[in-house]
Structure 1
Amino acid sequence: MANNTEAETFDDGAIEKQTIDHAETASVFEEDAAEAHRVLRKIDLRLIPIVLMLYTLTFLDRVNIGNAAVWNLETDLHMKGYDYNIVVLVFYIPYILLEIPSNMIINRVQPRYWIGFLALGWGLSVTFAGFSKSMGGLGCLFLIGSWYRREELIVRLAWFMVSNDVAGVLSGLLGAGLGSLNGTGGYSGWCWIFWVEGAMTCVAAIVALFFLPSFPEESTFLTPEEKAWYLRRLKRDDNNREGEQQKMELRGVLRSLRDWKVLTSGVLYLSVCVTAYSLSVFQPAVLTSFGWSSLKSNLLTAPVRAVSGIISVLVALWSDKVRRRGVFCLAGFLISIMGMLFVMLFTNGNLRYMGFYFASFGIYICQPLVIGWCVNQVIGYTKRGTVTAFAVSCGQIGGIISALVFPSKNAPQYVPGISTCIGFQVLGILAVLNMWWWCRWENKQRDAGKRDHLRSLSAEEQEKLGELHPDFRYML
């Protein structure tokens, strides 16, 4: 307390006293694990439920076309041949083109306004799609990655990605329930699916407009003491984190796109999404090809996604605890390949349905891991924002591929589509092995002191090294 009294003798004593008090409070947080846990829990409760709700509903809207297809969508809109596949495909094109620009915008606009605006626009689009009379009528990862240290990130991303599984469960149940309204008011079941699920997304978007938090540097729900401690904590994990949020500039994005780790993130997420979107959009149709009714096919997608969601979170907790990523990605791809082979090669409906379990929880183990692993390997807002945007953009190419390789004429085994999924998962395995081997080699070089010559650079130049700094170690 003597230091505080002495500080008060200066003209700017109040400011200096506040700084000293914050430093003392920060040291208390650093020494008290219970206090650190309390602040992290406060952040989790403010951030994760909102983004989980948003992503659940928007993903539900994305995959509900699979449920709508078994409730007279193609018949009412006079669709034939590849028409349904083209409708699924069209969605992904703007997603691919606008993902990086979107991350540049969210870096300049309050996330709650931008994300809320996008969710509201999407919800309205889905709602009005229910009025279609012909075929022609028919950003969150970056924010989460900025709030958590590397060893805390995967489990949060898993909770975010479990939205896919929650949406999968809800999609099956809502598809069955809303589809059963078929004929109500003179409208087919697919119309009710679009109307109700789209309206739910609009409501969630309005909630986000008011309650979604900003980036850590601009947060207002933490006390000044908590915020000061938390920013210091993040900086120790990210040597390139400044006091103020860096803005994503086009020059920095283009420079980041030359980094092999960023490019690898695209290959990895593409490898995941070909299978993930195939399972999400076409699973009801595949189940119907077993000879099962539309209602049964919708309902039986739900338990598959529930199991995969639980397993993905448990694996994420394990991954964060042991600070390893590659081995879990490798296991996920191999398990999913085994499941897809079951679906493609067996003719018994029950065995093929079991294959969907293995295929789903294997690929959904990989989904948060590959994004989090690639974010773990880079430093700075620009490169982190580029990694998440580029990976997600490449993932949507997987959506286009899945839309093209599952035409109904290939039922009931869907050999071309499932073979394509397996081929991309093999590509994912190769990308995992490449990332793991190179990062392990580079860590050994740094442990041996072969990058220590970089310490002779000025402090300012060392700040710009990012993950090239000799103190940085890549996640394996």
Structure 2
Amino acid sequence: MATSDGNVSGKEEGNLSQEERVEKDLHVAAEEGVAATDSRGVSVAEFDREAERKLRNKIDWMIVPTVSVLYLFCFIDRSNIGNARLAGLEEDLGMKGNDYNMLLSIFYISYCLFEIPSNLACKWLGPGWVIPILCLGFGISSLGMAFVRDLPAACGVRFLLGVFEAGMMPGMSYYLSRWYRRSELVFRISLFVVMAPLAGAFGGLIASGLLSLSNIGSVTAWRMIFLVEGIITIGLSLISFVTLTDRPETARWLTAEEKTLAIARVKSERLAQTAVIDKTDRKKLWLGFWNPVVLSTSFIFLLNNITVQGLAFFAPTIVATIYPQYTTVQKQLYTVPPYVVGALFEVGIPLLSWRMDKRQVFLILTAPLTMMGYIMFLASTDPKVRYAATFFTAISCFAVGALSNAQVAAQVVSDTARSVSLGTNMMFGALGGLIATWSYLSWDGPDYPIGNGLNLAASSMLFVITTVTLFWMKADNKKREKLDVSKELEGLSQAQIESLEWKHPGWRWKP
């Protein structure tokens, strides 16, 4: 039994050792129907740090590699169209003017529409099933791109690709939130999001290698890129049906004690919740979306995605304008180094965020270097300066994906609200990607002042909004400190208290 605060009641057992007390508290905290925090969100259980470290390492090795590899090919299958463009896609499909931009936009229309529905499906069916199904779907879609003969067919395939890829990033972030604490989540998200810049590097290497071949069967030129990468993705999706464990309770590779610890430690951060994976609640769904910090962070991700997706789709084109005399393969290879540098910072920044349990300040710090990169693009036409600018933009912009997803996950309480908050963040991000598809227009080349100016404006606005949000969070937390939690909760049932989400008087924003 537990009190309304979640504290265990009953006869004191003074003869229990400290170790026995910790073990007993863990089982109580993990028990279904019992809250694992008091009314101010303080855990009712103590945790053995060494046991947690061992469990976390075990989860890292069993969970993270699978989602990372899947996301690598998710991003490759999305962005390989930039490599295909250099290899003659537009000429073969009879594309003219801004047809390429339209083809990119089709993807983001479906991508945006299916973000939240896909993550709700993850909540209802379980990520262990939904993520492999999505992976299989976009693998088949990528494969289909190798056989399109005109622009309408290519648009149809890209629309389907957006349907299946929509749920990957929010679904994986939601999946990891079932296993990790708030502070730990950002670094684990970064370990799969880092595959975005690596996909740019790896995709460029694959493309340059495939384009050195004359054909694969009857498939030639740029079509080989989609053929090979689609087949690899399909194979990986089939494997993931077996390797992707849905949640701690179903993990055959965890002992009973490890399962108890895995559940208890996640539940201990969820204010007033009596289950880690709760039943779907309409009020929680709404408050997962209608949350001031979630909406602010989602808009930040929209601004950031203008840059990230712009780099993914147009980096080969930008490099081609910087070094027009180089061969197609050389241009592909020149897109690799900025992505490699970006990947290092993509992991390094979230690692610091994890250790400090801070996200908002790091979101603020990502903006200046991105701003510097686009100032260099606008201020100079020197090839070396402009190529250096691609490094500055890549250094920090990719880290926002992990930071923003971890932030919206940290600013809600329940599993239900988290599925919506992550879907919302990615929906806004998709809108940023849609804007990015029209940021570099054919008639704006070769210097692209409009595209670069748009990215400078977006990164500058990101800097302002992240800073204002941080000050608001701190000010609102001070107001909440003055509330009498017991009085505010008086007369409410346990179900009503659980549904309060961020409106709970004991809640504090997590900057």
Shared fold (TM-score greater than 0.5)?
A: yes
Q: Aligned to 1:371, which of 405, 414, 417?
A: 405
Matched, 1:102 2:118: yes
Tell me what 1:86 maps to: 102
Matched, 1:269 2:301: yes
Report the AA paired with residue 422 of structure 2.
T
Q: Aligned to 1:422, which of 438, 453, 456?
A: 456
Tell me what 2:477 maps to: 443
Provide the C-alpha distance between the structure 2 equivalents of 1:452 and 1:252, rounded to a whole number of angstroms.
21
Give SS of 1:69's match: helix
Matched, 1:242 2:303: no
Q: Aligned to 1:412, which of 446, 450, 454?
A: 446
Report the AA paired with residue 321 of structure 2.
S
Shift of 1:55: 0.5
Tell me what 2:375 maps to: 341
Distance 1:346 1:182, change over 3 A: farther
Q: Identity across aligned pairs (percent)?
A: 28
Report the AA paired with residue 435 of structure 1.
T
Provide the C-alpha distance between the structure 1 equivalents of 2:124 and 2:26, rounded to a whole number of angstroms.
31
Give SS of 2:274's match: coil
Q: Could you tell me the TM-score, scaled by structure 1's length?
A: 0.90
Provide the C-alpha distance between the structure 2 equivalents of 1:447 and 1:75, rounded to a whole number of angstroms.
63
Shift of 1:355: 0.5
Provide the C-alpha distance between the structure 1 equivalents of 2:22 and 2:387, rounded to a whole number of angstroms.
61
Tell me what 1:70 maps to: 86
Give SS of 1:243's match: coil
Provide the C-alpha distance between the structure 1 equivalents of 2:415 and 2:376, rounded to a whole number of angstroms.
42
> CA offsets per residue over residues 296-320 of structure 1, 9 Å max, x none?
2211221111111111211111112
Provide the C-alpha distance between the structure 1 equivalents of 2:197 and 2:129, rounded to a whole number of angstroms.
26
Greater CA drift, 48-57 or 407-416: 407-416
Give SS of 1:108's match: helix
Provide the C-alpha distance between the structure 2 equivalents of 1:25 and 1:184, rounded to a whole number of angstroms.
57
> CA offsets per residue over residues 177-206 of structure 1, 9 Å max, x none?
112225565644211111011111111111
Aligned residues: 457
Q: Could you tell me the TM-score, scaled by structure 2's length?
A: 0.84
Matched, 1:166 2:198: yes
Greater CA drift, 186-195 or 297-306: 186-195
Whether the 8 Å CA contact 2:71–2:195 is kept in 1: the answer is yes
Distance 1:366 1:303, change over 3 A: same
Greater CA drift, 238-247 or 108-117: 238-247
Give SS of 1:46's match: helix
Report the AA paired with residue 102 of structure 1.
S
Distance 1:414 1:324, change over 3 A: same
Whether the 8 Å CA contact 1:217–1:244 is kept in 2: the answer is no
Distance 1:249 1:126, change over 3 A: farther
Tell me what 1:473 maps to: 508
> CA offsets per residue over residues 134-173 of structure 1, 9 Å max, x none?
1122121211123211111111111121011221110111
Query: What's the RMSD between the two structures over aligned residues?
Result: 2.4
> CA offsets per residue over residues 182-231 of structure 1, 9 Å max, x none?
55656442111110111111111111111111134554432221111221
Whether the 8 Å CA contact 1:108–1:247 is kept in 2: the answer is no
Whether the 8 Å CA contact 1:159–1:313 is kept in 2: the answer is yes
Distance 1:330 1:243, change over 3 A: closer
Provide the C-alpha distance between the structure 2 equivalents of 1:397 and 1:151, rounded to a whole number of angstroms.
28
Whether the 8 Å CA contact 2:22–2:46 is kept in 1: the answer is no
Report the AA paired with residue 150 of structure 1.
R
Report the AA paired with residue 183 of structure 2.
E
Shift of 1:45: 1.2
Tell me what 1:323 maps to: 357
Q: Aligned to 1:125, which of 132, 141, 155?
A: 141
Matched, 1:116 2:116: no
Tell me what 2:341 maps to: 307
Distance 1:220 1:427, change over 3 A: farther
Matched, 1:386 2:386: no
Q: Aligned to 2:153, which of 137, 153, 158?
A: 137
Provide the C-alpha distance between the structure 2 equivalents of 1:450 and 1:422, rounded to a whole number of angstroms.
45
Unaligned runs of 5+ in 2: 1-19, 29-44, 155-170
Provide the C-alpha distance between the structure 2 equivalents of 1:424 and 1:36, rounded to a whole number of angstroms.
40
Q: Aligned to 1:59, which of 72, 75, 78?
A: 75
Matched, 1:207 2:204: no
